[in-house]
């Protein structure tokens, strides 16, 4: 019988992972069995690896980590009607109920009863996994498996960019983690006029943003981003700010970099509350604030398919490292240094 190696968070401590073989699961009703070809490590996996306050409150151990994957369908359970053996697929990692009011109104990204694979249930860091057909997306068979696996954060970036009108407008991205640099690539693909990328001091990621198409890529540790953006927009500010860092200071800088009537799109999160002067910075300047979470089901995935097919979306440079699946410790440790873009495990 084939092995089914899994990365399991077993112990409530930093690290605390074990690599063990489990039985290959049987696909249940409406489920497919996937043999993974690539899986990417997300910031969420890193939170769980480091066993921070959020993970301690959310994750029940033991749990197989991971939610970003691409693989081949090797079996289908009863009731599966659309996905076939041999399809190259990726899955949406947020499992929605399909029944609550938001799901039925087409807003599954804010399902009242959603669960995330890799922290609420067993995830994708395993050779063979089952997944609901309804949460599966069929990829172009020629898509690089590593690229297929990063569609979860790419989808976050697309959802963020499409939350405001970024076509032919001036846009600033605050925060150059993987979602931030992916947002730069999406802005480039859809034709933003001027793209400002604002990191902190991580030169690798600032350079990556420039490579992906940012017209300006700066570090706020050295350059005041508000002053810089005002200097390059005739003192008026950008039309849209995408805040992807969650840093309370960046939220303020973002607001102060916007033109009157501009849009602030927030997807970054922080454990600290942000303070903003609503009257001065939002009300009297008629700023629109949008909160963004997850990927719109299935609007974001549809746009992603189109953007990948267009040939104008270049995201390969975001994948800076690939390790064999069993070398996952190297991947997590590298992620902790921040000297990387997306780190992908290959099977
Ligand atoms: Zn993720
Ligand atoms: Zn629901």
Residue in the structure block whose two tokens are 């970003």: 68
Query: In the prediction, which pLDDT does 297 show?
Result: 96
Averaged pLDDT for residues 262-277 = 94
Averaged pLDDT for residues 324-342 = 97
Q: Determine the distance from the C-alpha atom of residue 19 to the mean position of all C-alpha atoms in its chain, rounded to a whole number.
A: 25
How many angstroms is it from 69 CA to the middle of ligand 1?
A: 10
Angstrom distance (rounded) from CA 167 to CA 161: 9
Ligand nearest to the CA of 95: 2
pLDDT in tens, 32-84: 999 999 999 999 999 999 999 999 999 999 999 999 999 999 999 999 999 99
Residues with CB under 5 A from ligand 1 (ion): 42, 152
Q: What is the 3-state secondary structure (H, E, C) of the chain?
A: CCCCEEEEECCCCCCCEEEEECCCCCCCCCEEEEEEEEEEECHHHHHHHHCCHHHHHHCCCCEECCCEEEEEEEEECCCCCCCCCCCEEEECCEECCCCCHHHHCCCHHHCCCCEEECCCECCCCECEEEEEHHHEEECCCCCCHHHHHCHHHHHHHHHHHCCCCCCCCEEEEECCCHHHHHHHHHHHHHCCCEEEEEECCCHHHHHHHHHCCCCEEEECCCCCHHHHHHHCCCCCCEEEEEECCCCHHHHHHHHHCEEEEEEEEECCCCCCCCCCCHHHHHHCCCCEEEECCCCCCCHHHHHHHHHHHHCCCCCHHHEEEEEEHHHHHHHHHHHHHCCCCEEEEEC
Q: Determine the distance from the C-alpha atom of residue 17 to the mean position of all C-alpha atoms in its chain, rounded to a whole number.
A: 23
C-alpha closest to that of 341 among 125, 218, 184, 159: 184
Query: In the prediction, which pLDDT does 156 show?
Result: 98
Residue pair 321/208 in contact by the 8 Å Cβ criterion: no
Residue pair 126/5 in contact by the 8 Å Cβ criterion: yes
Q: Tell me the pLDDT band of 271, cut-offs 50, 70 and 90.
A: confident
pLDDT in tens, 114-172: 999 999 999 999 999 999 999 999 999 999 999 999 999 999 999 999 999 999 999 99
Ligand nearest to the CA of 113: 2
Rounded to the nearest 5 degrees, what angle is found at the Cα of 276, between the Cα atoms of 275 and 278? 140
Half-sphere exposure of 77 (CA within 13 A, CB side): 16
Which residues is 19 bridged to in the sheet? 7
Q: Tell me the pLDDT band of 2, cut-offs 50, 70 and 90.
A: confident
CATH 3.90.180.10 in the chain is located at 5-150+315-346
Residue pair 55/47 in contact by the 8 Å Cβ criterion: yes
How many angstroms is it from 47 CA to the middle of ligand 1?
A: 11
How many angstroms is it from 48 CA to the middle of ligand 1?
A: 12
Q: How many CB atoms lie within 10 A of CB 315?
A: 25
How many angstroms is it from 35 CA to the middle of ligand 1?
A: 19
47 is catalytic: yes
How many angstroms is it from 106 CA to the middle of ligand 2?
A: 10
Q: Evaluate if residue 273 carries a pLDDT over 70.
A: yes
Could you say which of 3.30.1490.20, 3.40.50.720, 3.40.190.100, 3.30.750.24 is the CATH number of the domain covering 157-291?
Answer: 3.40.50.720
Angstrom distance (rounded) from CA 280 to CA 301: 37
Domain 5-150+315-346 in CATH 3.90.180.10? The answer is: yes
Residue pair 156/295 in contact by the 8 Å Cβ criterion: yes
How many angstroms is it from 93 CA to the middle of ligand 2?
A: 14
How many angstroms is it from 101 CA to the middle of ligand 2?
A: 7
pLDDT in tens, 298-320: 999 999 999 999 999 999 999 99
Q: Evaluate if residue 259 carries a pLDDT over 90.
A: yes
How many angstroms is it from 281 CA to the middle of ligand 2?
A: 35
The verdict on pTM exceeding 0.75 is yes
How many angstroms is it from 107 CA to the middle of ligand 2?
A: 8
Ligand nearest to the CA of 115: 2
Query: In the prediction, which pLDDT does 1 show?
Result: 60
Ligand nearest to the CA of 46: 1
pLDDT in tens, 212-227: 999 999 999 999 999 9
Tokens of 216: 């300006």
List the catalytic residue out of 47, 232, 288, 290. 47
Angstrom distance (rounded) from CA 132 to CA 9: 23
* Residue percentage of the chain with pLDDT more than 90: 98
Angstrom distance (rounded) from CA 47 to CA 53: 9
CATH 3.40.50.720 in the chain is located at 157-291
Ligand nearest to the CA of 98: 2
* Residue percentage of the chain with pLDDT more than 70: 100
Q: Evaluate if residue 189 carries a pLDDT over 90.
A: yes
List the catalytic residue out of 44, 96, 169, 300. 44
């Amino acid at each position: 019988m084939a092995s089914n190696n899994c990365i399991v968070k077993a112990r409530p401590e930093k690290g605390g992972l074990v690599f063990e073989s489990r039985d290959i699961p049987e696909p249940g009703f409406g489920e497919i069995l996937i043999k993974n070809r690539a899986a990417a490590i997300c910031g969420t996996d890193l939170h769980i690896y480091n066993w921070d306050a959020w993970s301690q409150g959310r994750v029940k151990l033991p749990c197989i980590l991971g939610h970003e994957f691409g693989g081949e369908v090797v079996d289908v359970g009863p009731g599966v009607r659309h996905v076939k053996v041999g399809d190259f697929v990726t899955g949406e990692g947020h499992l929605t109920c399909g029944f609550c009011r938001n799901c039925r109104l087409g807003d599954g990204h804010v399902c009242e009863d959603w669960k995330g694979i890799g922290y609420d249930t067993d995830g994708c860091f395993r050779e063979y996994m089952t997944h609901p057909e309804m949460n599966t997306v069929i990829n172009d068979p020629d898509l690089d498996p590593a690229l297929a696996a990063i569609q979860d954060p790419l989808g976050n970036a697309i959802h963020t960019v499409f939350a405001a009108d970024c076509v032919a407008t001036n846009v600033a991205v605050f925060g150059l983690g993987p979602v931030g640099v992916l947002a730069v690539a999406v802005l480039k693909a859809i034709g933003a006029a001027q793209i400002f990328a604002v990191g902190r001091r991580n030169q690798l990621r600032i350079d990556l943003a420039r490579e992906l198409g940012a017209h300006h890529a700066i570090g706020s540790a050295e350059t005041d981003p508000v002053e810089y953006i005002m200097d390059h927009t005739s003192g008026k500010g950008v039309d849209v700010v995408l805040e992807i860092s969650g840093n309370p200071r960046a939220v303020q800088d973002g607001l102060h970099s916007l033109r009157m009537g501009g849009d602030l799109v927030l997807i970054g999160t922080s454990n600290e509350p942000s303070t903003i002067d609503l009257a001065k910075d939002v009300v009297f300047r008629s700023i629109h604030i949008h909160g963004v979470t997850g990927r719109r089901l299935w609007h974001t995935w549809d746009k992603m398919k189109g953007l990948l097919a267009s040939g104008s979306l270049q995201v390969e440079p975001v994948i800076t490292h690939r390790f064999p699946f069993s070398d996952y410790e190297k991947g997590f440790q590298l992620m902790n240094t921040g000297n990387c873009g997306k780190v992908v495990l290959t099977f």
